[in-house]
Amino acid sequence: MDEDGVKSLVNVLDLENPDLWKWLSGQEQPPDAISTNSVFSAVREKVMNNLGKHAAPETRAAAGSLGPWVRGWDDFKKAQDGPIAGNQ
């Protein structure tokens, strides 16, 4: 990867996970600055291909859905008295 590719990768890695997942999975449209990022585009293509091959449509949030950013994940359970890891 050249220097521009590395900068593009760093920009993608700095994004917030809930937003990034919604953009990568097609639940929401990313901002123009993100959608034109070559690394983001490559990762989104891979994610969409994998979702199409391995995830039943009924397990995926529809475009524009404001549902959970990862099906079944509950961030609120990560409170002080919550589990250390996993979705328990």
Percentage of the chain exceeding pLDDT 70: 65
- pTM for the structure as a whole: 0.60
pLDDT at 83 > cutoff 80: no
DSSP string, the chain: --HHHHHHHHHHHTS-HHHHHHHHTTSSPPPHHHHT-HHHHHHHHHHHHHHHHHS-GGGSPPTT--S-SSTT--GGGGSTTS-SSS--
67 vs 18, higher pLDDT: 18
Task: Give the tens place of pLDDT for each residue, 31-43.
Answer: 998 999 998 999 9
pLDDT of the residue at 81: 56
